[in-house]
Amino acid sequence: MVVTGAAGGLGQEFCKLLLGKGATVVAADLADIPADLGNNGVFKPTQLDVTDPAGCRELANDIQPDVWINNAGILGAGQVSEQDGESMAKVLSVNLGGVINGTMAAVSVMKPKGEGRILNVGSFASWTPAPGLAVYCATKHGVRAFTVATAAELASSGIKFSLLCPEGIWTPMLYESVKDGSAQMSFTARKLLMPAEVAQAGISLIERGLLIGSIPKGRAVLARTVGLSATAVVKMTPYLARAGKAGQRRMRDRLAGETGSGN
C-alpha cells in the first residue's frame, strides 16, 4: 500500500491505521518521515516527488501496490491578485498533478491484474469555492472531476476509486495558517476535524468500495448545496469570513496552549 504525503498529519494517520491492520505500507514523501508509525505491519518510508510522473510510475512498478492513497497536498492560501505564478504553479502541480500522477502510476500496475483500490483526498473545497483559497479550490474541484471521470472510464477494470472530501483538519498545514487572513475559510467549522477520524473515514470508503464520501456529513450537505449556486457563494462569503476569523482565533489560543507560546 502506498500513502503519499506521509510526513504530514493526515498521511501519518493513514499509515498508522493501515499498519495497525497488519499491512505493508510504503510511506512516500519528500520531507522526513518518522521512523516508526506502528508495529503490526511492515513500514517502508521512501522519498517521492508526486509532481514527477516518472518517479510515481517507478515506485508503482517496484512495489506493485494493491492500494494507493493520493494524500499529498498543500494549502497555498492567498489573494489571487497578490500571489506569484511560482507559488500558484506549485499548488497546482502538487494537489492536482500529484493526484493524476499517482493515479496513473497505480492504474498502470493494477489494470493488468484486474484489481486495486485508489483513494484520492479531496476537500469540502471540491464542492464549494472559498475566497482566499481560489487556487486550492481549483485543484480540489479538479481532483473530484478527475476521480469521477477516471472511475467511469475504468468501471470494468476491477479498480475501485474513492474520493474523500473532509472539512478543515487540525494538522500542521493549518497550524501554519492560524494567522493568515486569506485562510479564514479553512476555519469556519466550530470544531475542526482530527486527522485520525478523517483517516478512518478514508479507509472505510476503500473497504466499502464507495466512490465519494464527505466528513462531517451534515455540513457536507450544506457545502454541496451552497456550491451549486455561485450567487450563494458570493452572498455567504462575509458570514463565513467572520466565522473563519473566530475559528482562527480559537485555534491560535489552542496552539498557544499546546506549545506554550504566545499568539
The pairs formed by 137-144 with CB atoms below 8 angstroms and a separation of 24 or more are: 138/92, 138/96, 139/73, 139/91, 139/92, 139/95, 139/96, 140/95, 140/165, 142/95, 142/96, 143/95, 143/96, 143/99, 144/212
- What would the mean pLDDT of 233-250 be, rounded to a whole number? 92
* Percentage of the residues of the chain whose pLDDT score is greater than 90: 83
pLDDT at position 64, please?
A: 97
Listed by start position, the domains of the chain span 2-259
Q: Which residues of 78-96 are buried (b: 16+ CB within 10 A; e: fewer)?
A: beeeebeeeebeebbbbbb
**Residue 104 burial class via C-beta count within 10 angstroms: exposed 0-12, middle 13-18, buried 19 and up:** middle
Judge whether residue 158 has pLDDT over 70.
yes
Pairwise CA distance, residues 215 & 121, whole Å: 12
Judge whether residue 134 has pLDDT over 60.
yes
DSSP 97: I
pLDDT at position 260, please?
A: 64
Largest Cα–Cα distance of the chain, in whole Å? Answer: 55
Pairwise CA distance, residues 184 & 180, whole Å: 7
Could you report the per-residue pLDDT of 56-104, keeping only the tens digit for each? 999 999 999 999 999 999 999 999 999 999 999 999 999 999 999 999 9
Whether the CA torsion 194, 8, 121, 78 is positive or negative: it is positive
Ranking 61-75, 118-132, 220-234 by mean pLDDT, the lowest is: 220-234
> Hey, what CATH topology would domain 2-259 get?
Rossmann fold (3.40.50)
Which cell numbers in the block locate residue 213?
Answer: 464520501
pLDDT at position 54, please?
A: 98
pLDDT at position 254, please?
A: 87
- What would the mean pLDDT of 151-156 be, rounded to a whole number? 98
> Where does the pLDDT of residue 258 fall: very low under 50, low under 70, confident under 90, or very high at 90 and above?
confident
Ranking 133-137, 160-164, 226-230 by mean pLDDT, the lowest is: 226-230
DSSP 252: H
pLDDT at position 263, please?
A: 47
Pairwise CA distance, residues 92 & 78, whole Å: 14
Judge whether residue 38 has pLDDT over 60.
yes
Which stretch of DSSP H or E encloses residue 117? strand 116-121
- What would the mean pLDDT of 245-254 be, rounded to a whole number? 93
Judge whether residue 117 has pLDDT over 90.
yes
Judge whether residue 40 has pLDDT over 90.
no
Could you report the per-residue pLDDT of 92-107, keeping only the tens digit for each? 999 999 999 999 999 9
> Where does the pLDDT of residue 46 fall: very low under 50, low under 70, confident under 90, or very high at 90 and above?
very high
Length of the chain as a residue count:
263
pLDDT at position 259, please?
A: 64
Backbone dihedral angles phi then psi of residue 240, each to the nearest 5 degrees:
-65, -35
